[in-house]
C-alpha cells in the first residue's frame, strides 16, 4: 500500500455529521491521518471532500498547511455515490479497483474523516469509541441537529431532546435516505455505525406502490458499478434470487441509485439484499 485516502465526501443527502466534524475538529483529523500513515509506513494522503462544502475544504486545507504535513485536500465533483469506496479511490487516485477486490489490491487504504478523529482520540487520549456524531434530520423532528451521542442511546431519548415528533411523520430511517434502513420503533439504540437518523414527513417520501419492470433501462444507466439491477429484481420476484450472481449481485454496495431513478418505483435494493441472502445460502 502506498496511499491513504480520507473520505470526507459525505455525498448522501441530509447527512452533515462529517461536514461538522471537519469544521470543528480539523486538527484532530489531520493528527489521526498522520497516525494512520505512521502505522502503514507510508506518507501519501489525500482527503477527498465534495466541492459543495467549500468551508470544510478551506478549513482542512489550512489545518494541513499549518501542520506542515504532506497531506493534500482534494475537492471532488458533487455526485452520488462519490463517497463509496471504489468511486472515491478512482476520483482521487485515478485507480480502478477490480470487481470483488479490496482497495489494497490497488495500493490504497480508505478511512472516513470521523474514523481518523476517533483514531486520534484513541491514541492521544486513550479514549475508546463510545460516542458518535449523528445527524438528526427531516421535517418529522422538532429541531434537526448534529448531536454527539453515546453509543447505545435510545432513539426515543434523542426525539425527546429535540422537541418530539412532528405531525405528518411518515418514516424513520437509520442512516441516509439512499442506504439507510427504515425502523418501526423508536426503542432502538444508536450503534457505532449509525451516521444519521432521519424523520421523514409525508412530502419527503414516496409511498406509491411499485409495479412491473417496464425495461426502460434507467437503472442500468444509473448504476455506478455497471450492474443489472432490473434482472436481479425480476429473478427475485420469480423466486430465483440464488441465480443472480452473473448480474453482479455481489458487486452491489447498495447505494440505492437504481431504485431512486426507477419510474416503476421498484424496491431494487431490497430485491438485491434478498438475492444476496439467497445466493450466499
d(CA 200, CA 14): 11
**Residue 252 in the binding site for ligand SF4 (CB under 6 A):** yes
Stretch that binds ligand SF4, among 101-109, 121-129, 237-245, 262-270 (CB under 6 A): 262-270
d(CA 92, CA 71): 13
Of 146-175, which residues contact ligand SF4 (CB under 6 A)?
none
Q: Which of 109, 155, 219, 275 binds ligand SF4 (CB under 6 A)?
A: 219
Stretch that binds ligand SF4, among 60-68, 104-112, 182-190, 229-237 (CB under 6 A): 229-237
d(CA 30, CA 281): 43
Count how many Cα atoms sit within 13 Å of the Cα of residue 257 in the half-sphere of its side chain. Answer: 22
d(CA 131, CA 45): 26
Asked if 77 and 91 touch (Cβ cutoff 8 Å), the reply is yes
CA neighbor of 23 nearest in space, from 68, 53, 65 = 53
**Residue 213 in the binding site for ligand SF4 (CB under 6 A):** yes
Nearer CB in complex with ligand SF4: 161/250: 250
Q: Give the bridge partners for 75, in sequence order.
A: 49
Give the cell for residue 89.
Answer: 479511490
**Residue 218 in the binding site for ligand SF4 (CB under 6 A):** yes
Q: Which of 215, 245, 246, 277 binds ligand SF4 (CB under 6 A)?
A: 215
**Residue 227 in the binding site for ligand SF4 (CB under 6 A):** yes
Nearer CB in complex with ligand SF4: 161/253: 253
**Residue 98 in the binding site for ligand SF4 (CB under 6 A):** no
Query: What is the nearest approach in angstroms of ligand SF4 to the Cβ of residue 81?
Result: 7
User: From the CA atom positions of the chain, what is the Rg in Å?
Assistant: 20
Stretch that binds ligand SF4, among 29-37, 65-73, 121-129, 261-269 (CB under 6 A): 261-269
d(CA 48, CA 70): 14
**Residue 264 in the binding site for ligand SF4 (CB under 6 A):** yes
Asked if 59 and 22 touch (Cβ cutoff 8 Å), the reply is yes
**Residue 229 in the binding site for ligand SF4 (CB under 6 A):** yes
**Residue 276 in the binding site for ligand SF4 (CB under 6 A):** no
Residue 251's φ and ψ, nearest 5 degrees, are -90, -10
User: Which residues in this chain contact ligand SF4 in the complex, by CB under 6 A?
Assistant: 213-219, 222-223, 225, 227, 229-230, 233, 252-258, 261-264, 266, 268-269, 272
Amino acid at each position: 500500500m502506498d496511499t491513504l485516502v480520507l473520505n470526507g465526501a459525505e455525498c448522501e443527502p441530509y447527512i452533515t455529521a462529517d461536514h461538522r466534524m471537519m469544521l470543528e475538529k480539523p486538527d484532530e483529523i489531520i493528527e489521526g491521518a498522520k497516525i494512520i500513515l505512521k502505522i502503514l509506513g507510508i506518507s501519501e494522503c489525500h482527503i477527498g471532500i465534495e466541492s459543495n462544502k467549500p468551508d470544510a475544504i478551506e478549513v482542512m486545507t489550512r489545518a494541513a498547511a499549518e501542520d506542515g504535513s504532506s497531506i493534500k485536500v482534494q475537492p471532488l465533483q458533487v455526485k452520488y455515490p462519490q463517497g463509496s469506496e471504489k468511486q472515491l479511490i478512482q476520483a482521487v487516485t485515478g485507480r480502478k479497483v477490480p470487481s470483488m477486490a479490496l482497495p489494497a489490491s490497488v495500493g490504497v487504504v480508505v478511512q472516513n474523516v470521523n474514523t481518523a478523529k476517533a483514531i486520534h482520540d484513541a491514541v492521544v487520549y486513550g479514549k475508546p469509541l463510545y460516542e458518535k456524531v449523528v445527524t438528526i434530520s427531516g421535517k418529522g423532528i422538532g429541531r434537526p441537529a448534529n448531536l454527539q451521542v453515546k453509543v447505545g442511546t435510545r432513539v426515543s431519548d434523542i426525539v425527546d431532546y429535540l422537541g418530539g415528533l412532528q405531525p405528518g411523520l411518515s418514516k424513520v430511517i437509520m442512516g441516509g435516505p439512499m442506504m439507510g434502513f427504515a425502523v418501526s420503533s423508536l426503542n432502538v439504540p444508536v450503534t457505532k455505525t449509525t451516521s444519521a437518523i432521519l424523520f421523514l414527513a409525508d412530502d419527503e417520501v414516496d409511498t406509491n406502490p411499485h409495479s412491473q419492470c417496464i425495461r426502460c433501462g434507467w437503472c442500468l444507466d444509473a448504476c455506478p458499478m455497471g450492474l443489472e439491477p432490473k434482472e436481479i429484481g425480476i429473478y427475485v420476484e420469480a423466486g430465483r434470487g440464488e441465480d443472480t450472481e452473473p448480474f453482479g449481485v455481489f458487486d452491489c454496495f447498495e447505494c440505492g441509485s437504481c431504485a431512486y431513478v426507477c419510474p416503476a418505483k421498484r424496491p431494487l435494493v431490497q430485491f438485491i439484499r434478498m438475492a444476496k441472502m439467497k445466493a450466499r445460502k
